[in-house]
Structure 1
Amino acid sequence: MTHNPFNILIEKNALTGPNYVDWLRNLRIVLNLARIRYILEANIPTEPPPEASKEEQDVYLKWLEDDLRVRSYMLASMSSDLQSSHEKMSDARSVLLHLQELYGEHSRTARYEISRELFRAKMSEGGEVGEHVLKMISMIERLEALDFSMDYNLQVDLILQSLPDSFSQFIVNFNMNEIECTLAGLLNKLVSTQSQMKTKGKDAVALTISTSRPS
């Protein structure tokens, strides 16, 4: 079954604020496919005078049509709050520039939104720990790209504190043994533990953790 890339953009990557960079990357992919990405990059043309040639008029009319499509794609793939803030803007470039001011790579707003999502992250009981921790690591890396670095131990604590009660024994063992590992290493340990719990049951799993130091 063929999936419409725009539907995927709306369903999986709708803009909420903190995910601006990912949203913009996926939007550009969709616009490339539709051959209208130039709307976000080219200068806005001046409306030709009435005496302009048909070719000039046609070029301008095509730009208006393509700009409407891009602006519609952008608005349709936003949260309702962001739609309300941008729906009256006259062209797609204006929408993009405003979003860059709010959520661009060096925006204080972006740092605030990402850190809020990170500190509030909670994994639901029965969820996939790999997907959850990968998302948290991604947010940590995005904050580092915004010149907001956290102590390694705080990063680990945030991840462990976000886990459901079924990982309580893992957390106890991890802290008692004072394990040092990379975030990727922690991810692997958690995925392995969840796999054991699914196979043997939570109470039957021996949550043993290697005490070796990372190289």
Structure 2
Amino acid sequence: MVPTLRIVLKQEKKNYVLEKKLPEKPKTNAQHAERNAWEKHSNDTVDVCCFMLATMNSDLQKQYENVDSPIDMITSLKGMFQEQARTERYQTVKTLIECKLPKNSPVSPHVIKMMGYIDNLAKLDCPISQELATDLILQSLPSSFDQFVMNYNMNT
């Protein structure tokens, strides 16, 4: 949600609302420009909250419909989903490290499966380098590929 939201808000010139909380309402004797700036920020905050709610599923909408600050919404959502992402990241790394090509099995589907795990790590904000990905794939091959691995390493 957040990357798409930031694109829309940037185009609408409302992205500042995600970094800068709405200040307290100015006093009635405040300068006209100060009151106008606060009014714009207040209206933009409402718009951004509505944009955010519109992108959520109905359960999250109900949970966040009374939250008045986009910053508070994002902070809460990060806290809610960060642990879930951490668990998924751990499981993906564990599966990737434990992945071994069984003897006499085709290599191509095995490599495609491992690349899926590697891509998933990137989506979970945990990218690994191409070099490490290659090493993990080579390490996953059975001993019958030792000569291939040695040749590969000598020629790179």
- Tell me what 2:84 maps to: 109
Counterpart residue identity of residue 177, structure 1? N
1:91 CA displacement: 1.8
The runs of at least 4 consecutive aligned structure 1 residues that moved more than 6 Å come to none
Does residue 152 in structure 1 map to residue 130 in structure 2? no
CA distance in 2 between counterparts of 1:111 and 1:181 reads: 29
Find the structure with the greater CA-based Rg. Answer: 2
CA gap of 1:71–1:178, structure 2 versus 1, over 3 A, is same
Aligned counterpart for 1:186 among listed residues 85, 106, 112: 112
Does residue 60 in structure 1 map to residue 38 in structure 2? yes
Superposition CA RMSD, Å: 3.3
Counterpart residue identity of residue 23, structure 2? P
CA gap of 1:155–1:86, structure 2 versus 1, over 3 A, is farther
Q: Is the 8 A contact 1:102 1:110 kept in 2?
A: no
The count of corresponding residues between Structure 1 and Structure 2 is: 120
Q: Is the 8 A contact 1:47 1:60 kept in 2?
A: yes
- Tell me what 2:136 maps to: none
Please list every run of 5 or more consecutive structure 2 residues that lacks an aligned counterpart in the other structure. 114-143
Deviations 1:28-67 (A, max 9, x none): 1111111100000113212101111111110010001101
TM-score, normalising length from structure 2? 0.63
Summarize the alignment of residues 1-215 of structure 1 with structure 2, pairs less than 5 Å apart: 23-103=1-81, 107-112=82-87, 115=88, 143=89, 149-152=93-96, 177-180=104-107, 185-186=111-112, 215=152
**Going by fraction, where is helix more abundant, 1 or 2?**
2
Q: Is the 8 A contact 2:17 2:45 kept in 1?
A: yes
TM-score, normalising length from structure 1? 0.47
Q: Is the 8 A contact 2:9 2:15 kept in 1?
A: yes
